[in-house]
């Protein structure tokens, strides 16, 4: 099947099979390995990418469903000049990851949250992020990183 | 605080950002799951539906003929290999041979052009089984008419990690027995002022490293090359050398970033199988397990413990006795060491004059058990720390004060023959108690607990490294320690930068390639900072010694006249940095100096354990009387780490470990119904999530520079897990008056206990 979509701001046309998931096309066809696959049943959030701004689990989302849509992956957050997204920087500053396997999905979910709600409370962060599992950090620094990024982005818009 | 003043550190003891930060937040960090080799095929595994069965026949002809399939590998195709592996006991065939010992055991592997084709072909393999009686608990495995899992005598593995005999393979289902004994327990219990006694159960748990087991093998006449998500590449190399009968130099393990380990990726897992696939398919082969398959690969040992503890009239603990039965599953893996460790860890960290601990692990027809963060310690800290609270209640003492009065003191040889205690439990417990407001009023339905653990950590001290100082003044560390997320790629360059006086950013790390990096026994038992950190420190100093000699040559002065300064040398007016020393010595702005070091069981590392891993945790919980649900109100961790080379990373280890411990305390448990694991997926296995976060969290470190590692550092990262289940159970008792001795404390269990209490009007 012919699949056309916009990936990280660039139009793409790739061949895919009907049963292929978006994670498979990203990882196997396009060699974009930032999107990680873990539970494969939409429970852990490691494979989270944004489709038209909404977080989806790429492990179970059929690639063909993305036709004509805007897909953003972890590789799409860094600006061409190397500037990191405020969330990426906040994850570094708060030591919000260890092994890093959940991190791309974690950051993409957090991005969807902040796009929707730029100043979430702690309770809102916990509620929104509940679909992402991290086994290393105990979540404490991740909550701090999201709060820090929200603050940084708030300052940025006020400038 | 220690009386000794801490030196002013430039790089260590600072929370410098992680070295792997940028690649991990941009999705560029490469894990084995992300790697592809040219010409690579993919394997999928057929697993046994039966817990215990003879394999009568395997017909793989239809699968082999399936388009896109290169070959099928079964236990009948392994002629020419030594198919049994195991660092402790060589009981584990890389594919089932003649019989299967648990539901989920690998029976055959299909190697095909892609994963989907391999998966399709699995259905075309026809296996005929004859079912045998099976056992699922230690009690069943010990029964007189129990079927025998392993009929043959085993060879003991060369690297089992303990000095005792291996018990396995002697005509019973016993995998390993161990005991410790000192004083006179019978006498002490007779004379005790108070005794508590009880039966405890610690569940089977799954570590859930989010990157499931994955490996790529390329077996050629050049040798065996493997990329694997392995914690201990050198240990895996040893197993593969034996499977393929090759010299060590022809087996190469490469470990890139690892997506979580927590002990579950220690020792050999799928590497022999994927290597056999490559060997037969004659091409590189990748085997990526699903999480469901990973759950059928390794779990923790569940433990049934009977324990009793006694005090005298002064409130001094005078005796402890325990009998433990551990369920090791179908293969030994690292369970013999888990048995030894859990035996030892029944004692600590208390000075008890009369001790008798007997431990026995049994083979059962369940998923093999092996290492899990803190191995063996959490299993016995549940009874150990529960009984401290139970005893305190019985004699009317505050459990926190009771702990303080009995905890091992700094320098005390509380465990005969072992290294004197090198932590400061009083300070650890004080800090935890303060953090959760121990003496402040409690709301109704709330309870608090403080608990501690001190475990013999560090594994066996055998570690080597190379530190290369380049002519531009930058540095490369060659280390066999694996970056699992714990931060070794950050901590080790901090140490080298501190010693050599170079910028942290100029120190690079090459790690975990057995063909390139010097030998390191393992990355586990919290050993890397202490052992590899010491090796990096010593190798840096050895490089400096060489550069001093070179500087003398360059400056045409005596070596004694050279004085080292931070980042270089001075002689009179002349001052050279390392870059200048090396460039002038070689008369070329290139070249290098190679500093080396090796650590063995000698000198300050001659006493075992390498260090006592000590930590305290504090919790405040509330219990919903209607539902039995426990809410974590407060959590405090206190890591007694000597010196935190990177405080943010050390605290991160503690909160990560405590959260895993909290999961086991509250809801994590692998459940067998009959022969099948019934919650073998992340849909069904309950893990801590954001919404389980304690309402308040405090992280503390105690830094008395009392460890044998660099600058007085010791390891951390396991101990905060160990006490959590007991701590939660103790807090529940204080909140509700019910004592629960079986983890996890699920709402159902708590609710039933509350209901029983209301009926009986007393403790259950």
Reported as a pLDDT band with limits 50, 70 and 90, residue B726 is very high
Q: Taking CB atoms and an 8 Å limit, are B207 and A135 in contact across chains?
A: yes
pLDDT at B2: 38
3-state secondary structure B30-41: CEHHHCCCCCCE
Q: DSSP strand E in B581-710: where? A: 592-599, 611-623, 630-640, 672-673, 676-677, 696-702
Q: Taking CB atoms and an 8 Å limit, are A143 and B693 in contact across chains?
A: yes
Reported as a pLDDT band with limits 50, 70 and 90, residue B167 is confident
* Residue of chain A whose Cα is closest to the Cα of B256: A99
A124 near B CB under 8 A: no
Q: What is the pLDDT of residues B10-24, one digit of tens each?
A: 999 999 999 999 999
User: Which among A97, A101, A139 is the nearest to B690, CB-wise?
Assistant: A139
- Answer yes or no: is pLDDT of A84 > 60: yes
- Answer yes or no: is pLDDT of B427 > 50: yes
Does A140 fall in a domain? yes
The radius of gyration of chain A from alpha carbons, rounded to an integer in Å, stands at: 15
pLDDT at A7: 98
Neighboring chain A residues of B214 at a CB cutoff of 8 Å: none
Domain CATH code at residue A127: 1.10.150.120
- The pLDDT > 90 percentage for chain B reads 95
Reported as a pLDDT band with limits 50, 70 and 90, residue B170 is confident
Specify whether A28 is located in the same domain as A72.
yes
Look at residues B739, B617, B732 and name the one whose alpha carbon lies nearest to residue B666: B732
Specify whether A55 is located in the same domain as A90.
no
CA distance B586 to B546: 13
- The pLDDT > 70 percentage for chain B reads 99
Provide the CB-side half-sphere exposure for B382 (13 A, CA): 30
Does A60 fall in a domain? yes
Q: Which helix (H) or strand (E) holds B721?
A: helix B719-722
Whether cis (ω within 30° of 0) applies to the bond prior to B651 is no
Specify whether A101 is located in the same domain as A35.
no
A143 near B CB under 8 A: yes
**CB B322, CB B306: distance < 8 Å:** yes
- Cα torsion at B421, B425, B426, B432 (round to 10°)? 170
- Show Cβ contacts of residue B349 under 8 Å, excluding neighbours closer than 6 positions: B407, B408, B414, B421, B423, B425, B452, B453, B454, B612, B614
Does A143 fall in a domain? yes
- 3-state class percentages of chain A: helix first, strand second, coil last, to nearest 5: 40, 15, 45
- Answer yes or no: is pLDDT of A95 > 80: yes
- The pLDDT > 70 percentage for chain A reads 99
Q: Which of B89-103, B147-161, B306-320, B433-447 has the lowest mean pLDDT?
A: B147-161
Q: Taking CB atoms and an 8 Å limit, are B257 and A100 in contact across chains?
A: yes
Specify whether A124 is located in the same domain as A154.
yes
CA distance B537 to B597: 9
Q: Which of A97-111, B162-176, B384-398, B694-708 has the lowest mean pLDDT?
A: B162-176
pLDDT at B549: 98
Q: Residues of B numbered 475-494 whose beta carbons fall under 8 angstroms of chain A's beta carbons: which are they?
A: 484-487
Neighboring chain A residues of B693 at a CB cutoff of 8 Å: 126, 138-140, 143
Look at residues B113, B103, B131, B90 and name the one whose alpha carbon lies nearest to residue B46: B103
User: Which among A38, A129, A132 is the nearest to B291, CB-wise?
Assistant: A38
Distance from CA of A159 to the nearest CA of B (A): 26
- For range B400-426, the mean pLDDT: 97
Q: Which of B288-302, B321-335, B725-739, B748-762 has the lowest mean pLDDT?
A: B748-762
Residue with tokens 């393979």: B169
Reported as a pLDDT band with limits 50, 70 and 90, residue B73 is very high
Domain CATH code at residue A14: 3.10.20.30
Tokens of B224: 């065996």
**CB A52, CB A70: distance < 8 Å:** yes
- Answer yes or no: is pLDDT of B303 > 90: yes
Q: What is the pLDDT of residues B339-394, one digit of tens each?
A: 999 999 999 899 999 999 999 999 999 999 999 999 899 999 999 999 999 999 99
Specify whether A93 is located in the same domain as A154.
yes
Burial of B734 (0-12, 13-18, 19+ CB in 10 A): middle
- Answer yes or no: is pLDDT of B763 > 60: no
- For range B123-127, the mean pLDDT: 98
Q: For A74, phi and psi rounded to 5 degrees? A: -55, -30
B329: which strand partners?
B363
Does A26 fall in a domain? yes
Look at residues B632, B750, B637 and name the one whose alpha carbon lies nearest to residue B692: B632
Q: Provide the residue range defining the domain that includes A47.
A: 2-76
Does A116 fall in a domain? yes
- Answer yes or no: is pLDDT of B4 > 60: no
A132 near B CB under 8 A: yes
Tokens of B137: 């608990």
Determine the number of helices (DSSP H) and then strands (DSSP E) in chain B: 19, 32
Q: Taking CB atoms and an 8 Å limit, are A138 and B656 in contact across chains?
A: yes
Specify whether A55 is located in the same domain as A117.
no
Q: Taking CB atoms and an 8 Å limit, are B682 and A33 in contact across chains?
A: no
Q: DSSP strand E in B538-695: where? A: 563-565, 568-571, 574-577, 592-599, 611-623, 630-640, 672-673, 676-677
Specify whether A10 is located in the same domain as A61.
yes
CA distance B279 to A79: 45
Specify whether A72 is located in the same domain as A90.
no
- Answer yes or no: is pLDDT of B1 > 60: no
A45 near B CB under 8 A: no
Q: What is the pLDDT of residues B236-286, one digit of tens each?
A: 999 999 999 999 999 999 999 999 999 999 999 999 999 999 999 999 999
Residue with tokens 């063995």: B600
Does A149 fall in a domain? yes
* Residue of chain B whose Cα is closest to the Cα of A105: B27
Which of residues A26, A52, A76 is at a domain's end? A76
Neighboring chain B residues of A88 at a CB cutoff of 8 Å: 25-26
Provide the CB-side half-sphere exposure for B313 (13 A, CA): 1
Query: What domains does chain B contain, in order, with CATH numbers?
Result: 21-29+460-603 (3.30.365.10), 402-458+609-760 (3.30.365.10)
pLDDT at B761: 57
Q: How far is CA B347 from CA B182, B406, B618, B728, in A?
A: 11, 12, 20, 20
Q: Taking CB atoms and an 8 Å limit, are B691 and A130 in contact across chains?
A: yes
Q: Residue B592 in 3-state DSSP?
A: strand
Neighboring chain B residues of A35 at a CB cutoff of 8 Å: 27
Q: How many CB atoms lie within 10 A of CB B678?
A: 11
Overall domain count for chain A: 2
* Residue of chain A whose Cα is closest to the Cα of B485: A99
- Answer yes or no: is pLDDT of A120 > 90: yes
Neighboring chain B residues of A81 at a CB cutoff of 8 Å: none
pLDDT at B3: 39
pLDDT at B138: 98
Burial of B353 (0-12, 13-18, 19+ CB in 10 A): middle
- For range B150-154, the mean pLDDT: 87
Q: Taking CB atoms and an 8 Å limit, are B17 and A92 in contact across chains?
A: yes
Q: What is the pLDDT of residues B622-644, one digit of tens each?
A: 999 999 999 999 999 999 999 99
Reported as a pLDDT band with limits 50, 70 and 90, residue B586 is very high
CA distance B387 to B384: 5
Task: For chain B, give the mean pLDDT.
Answer: 96
Does A17 fall in a domain? yes
- For range B296-318, the mean pLDDT: 98
pLDDT at B455: 96
Q: Residue B399 in 3-state DSSP?
A: helix
3-state secondary structure B184-246: CHHHHHHCCCEEEEEEEEECCCCCCCCCCCEEEEEEECCEEEEEECCCCHHHHHHHHHHHHCC
Q: How far is CA B279 from CA B118, B134, B233, B267, in A?
A: 17, 33, 20, 21
Specify whether A13 is located in the same domain as A71.
yes
Specify whether A50 is located in the same domain as A104.
no
* Residue of chain A whose Cα is closest to the Cα of B213: A38
Interface test mutation site (partner B, options A101, A111, A113, A146, max chain B beta carbons within 10 A): A101
Q: Taking CB atoms and an 8 Å limit, are A99 and B261 in contact across chains?
A: yes
Tokens of B245: 């009968």
Residue with tokens 């509330």: B622
Specify whether A6 is located in the same domain as A72.
yes
Q: Residue B684 in 3-state DSSP?
A: coil
Q: How far is CA B703 from CA A95, B614, B643, B645, B657, in A?
A: 20, 12, 5, 10, 19
Does A81 fall in a domain? no
- Show Cβ contacts of residue B648 under 8 Å, excluding neighbours closer than 6 positions: A95, B15
Signed CA dihedral, B376, B379, B380, B384: sign only: positive
Interface test mutation site (partner A, options B18, B23, B24, max chain A beta carbons within 10 A): B24
User: Which among B28, B259, B697 is the nearest to A34, CB-wise?
Assistant: B28
Specify whether A111 is located in the same domain as A152.
yes
Q: How many CB atoms lie within 10 A of CB A109?
A: 22
DSSP B403-469: HHHHBPPTT---STTSPPP-S-HHHHHHHHHHHTTTTSPPPTTEEEEEEEEEEEES-S--EEEEEEE
* Residue of chain B whose Cα is closest to the Cα of A122: B695
Q: Taking CB atoms and an 8 Å limit, are B17 and A107 in contact across chains?
A: no
Neighboring chain B residues of A36 at a CB cutoff of 8 Å: 31, 33, 210-211, 259
Q: Taking CB atoms and an 8 Å limit, are A141 and B652 in contact across chains?
A: yes
- Answer yes or no: is pLDDT of B548 > 70: yes
- For range A15-30, the mean pLDDT: 97
- Answer yes or no: is pLDDT of B580 > 60: yes
Terminal C-alpha separation, chain B = 42
Which of residues A76, A100, A130 is at a domain's end? A76
Q: Residues of A numbered 48-107 whose beta carbons fall under 8 angstroms of chain B's beta carbons: which are they?
A: 73-75, 77-78, 84, 88-89, 91-93, 95, 97-104, 107
Which of residues A17, A48, A76 is at a domain's end? A76
């Amino acid at each position: 099947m012919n699949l056309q979509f916009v990936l990280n701001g660039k139009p793409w046309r790739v061949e895919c099979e009907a049963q292929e998931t978006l994670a498979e096309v990203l990882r196997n066809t396009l060699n974009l390995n930032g999107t990680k696959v873990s539970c494969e049943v939409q429970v852990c959030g490691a494979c989270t990418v944004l489709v038209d701004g909404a977080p989806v689990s790429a492990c179970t989302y059929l690639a063909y469903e993305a036709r004509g849509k805007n897909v953003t992956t972890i590789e799409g957050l860094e600006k061409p000049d190397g500037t990191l997204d405020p969330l990426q920087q906040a994850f570094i500053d708060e030591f919000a990851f260890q092994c890093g396997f959940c991190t791309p999905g974690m950051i993409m979910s957090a991005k969807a949250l902040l796009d929707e709600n730029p100043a979430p409370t702690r309770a809102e962060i916990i509620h929104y992020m509940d679909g992402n599992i991290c086994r290393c950090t105990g979540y404490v620094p991740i909550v701090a990183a999201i709060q820090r990024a929200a603050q940084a982005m708030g300052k940025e818009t006020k400038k | 605080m220690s009386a000794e003043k801490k030196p002013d550190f430039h790089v260590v003891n600072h929370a410098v950002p992680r070295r792997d930060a940028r690649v991990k937040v941009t999705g560029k960090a490469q894990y084995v799951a992300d790697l592809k080799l040219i010409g690579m095929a993919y394997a999928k595994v057929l697993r046994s539906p039966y817990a215990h069965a003879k394999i009568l026949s395997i017909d793989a002809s239809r699968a082999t003929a399936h388009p896109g399939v290169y070959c099928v590998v079964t236990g009948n195709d392994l002629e020419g290999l030594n198919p049994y592996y195991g660092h402790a006991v060589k009981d584990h065939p890389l594919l089932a041979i003649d019989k299967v010992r648990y539901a989920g055991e690998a029976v055959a592997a299909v190697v095909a052009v892609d994963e989907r084709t391999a998966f399709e072909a699995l259905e075309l393999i026809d296996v005929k089984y004859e079912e045998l009686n099976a056992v699922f608990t230690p009690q069943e495995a010990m029964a007189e008419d129990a079927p025998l899992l392993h009929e043959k005598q085993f060879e003991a593995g060369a690297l089992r990690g303990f000095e005792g005999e291996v018990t396995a393979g002697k005509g019973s289902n016993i995998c390993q027995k161990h005991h410790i004994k000192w004083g006179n327990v019978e006498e002490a219990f007779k004379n005790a002022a108070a005794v508590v006694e009880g039966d405890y159960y610690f569940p089977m748990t799954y570590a859930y490293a989010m990157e499931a087991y994955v490996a790529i093998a390329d077996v050629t006449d050049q040798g065996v090359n493997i990329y694997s998500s392995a914690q201990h590449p050198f240990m895996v190399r040893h197993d593969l050398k034996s499977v393929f009968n090759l010299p060590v130099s022809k087996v190469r393990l490469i470990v890139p970033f690892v997506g979580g380990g927590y002990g579950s990726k220690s020792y050999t897992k799928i590497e022999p199988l994927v290597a056999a696939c490559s060997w037969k398919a004659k091409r590189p082969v990748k085997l990526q397990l699903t999480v469901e398959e990973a759950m059928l690969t390794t779990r923790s040992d569940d433990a049934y413990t009977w324990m009793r503890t006694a005090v005298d009239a002064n409130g001094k603990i005078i005796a402890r006795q325990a009998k433990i039965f551990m369920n090791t599953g179908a293969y030994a893996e690292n369970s013999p060491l888990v048995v030894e460790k859990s035996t030892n860890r029944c004692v600590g960290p208390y000075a008890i004059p009369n001790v008798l601990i007997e431990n026995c692990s049994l083979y059962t027809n369940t998923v093999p058990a092996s290492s899990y963060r803190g191995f063996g310690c959490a299993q016995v800290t549940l009874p150990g720390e529960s009984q401290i609270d139970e005893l305190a209640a019985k004699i009317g003492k505050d459990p926190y004060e009771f702990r303080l009065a009995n905890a091992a003191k700094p320098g005390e040889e509380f465990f005969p023959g072992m290294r004197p205690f090198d932590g400061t439990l009083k300070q650890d417990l004080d800090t935890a108690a303060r953090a959760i407001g121990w003496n402040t009023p409690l709301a109704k339905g709330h309870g608090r607990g403080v608990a501690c653990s001190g475990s013999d950590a560090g594994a066996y001290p055998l570690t080597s490294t190379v530190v290369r100082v380049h002519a531009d003044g930058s540095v490369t560390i060659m280390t066999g320690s694996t970056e699992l997320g714990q931060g070794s790629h950050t901590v080790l360059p901090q140490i080298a930068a501190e010693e050599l006086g170079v910028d942290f950013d100029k120190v690079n790390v090459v790690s975990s390639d057995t063909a390139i990096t010097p030998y390191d026994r393992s990355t586990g038992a919290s050993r890397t900072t202490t052992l590899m950190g010491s090796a990096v420190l010593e190798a840096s100093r050895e490089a400096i010694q060489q550069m001093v000699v070179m500087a003398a040559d360059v400056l045409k002065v005596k070596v004694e006249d050279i004085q080292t300064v931070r980042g270089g040398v001075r002689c009179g007016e002349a001052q050279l940095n390392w870059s200048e020393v090396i460039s002038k010595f070689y008369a070329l702005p290139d070249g290098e100096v190679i500093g080396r070091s090796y650590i063995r069981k000698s000198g300050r590392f001659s006493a075992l354990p390498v260090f006592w891993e000590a930590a305290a945790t504090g919790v405040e919980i509330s219990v919903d009387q209607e539902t039995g649900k426990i809410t974590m109100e407060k959590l405090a961790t206190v890591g007694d780490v000597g010196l935190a080379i990177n405080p943010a990373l050390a605290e991160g280890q503690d909160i990560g470990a405590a959260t895993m411990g909290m999961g086991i305390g509250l809801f994590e448990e692998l459940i067998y119904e009959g022969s099948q694991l019934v919650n073998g997926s992340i849909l069904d296995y309950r893990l801590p999530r954001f919404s389980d976060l304690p309402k308040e969290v405090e992280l503390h470190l105690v830094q008395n520079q009392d460890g044998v590692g660099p600058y007085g550092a010791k390891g951390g990262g396991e101990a905060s897990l160990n006490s959590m289940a007991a701590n939660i159970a103790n807090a529940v008792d204080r909140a509700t008056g019910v004592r629960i001795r079986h983890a996890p404390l699920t709402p159902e269990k708590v609710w039933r206990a509350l209901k029983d209490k209301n009926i009986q009007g007393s403790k259950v």
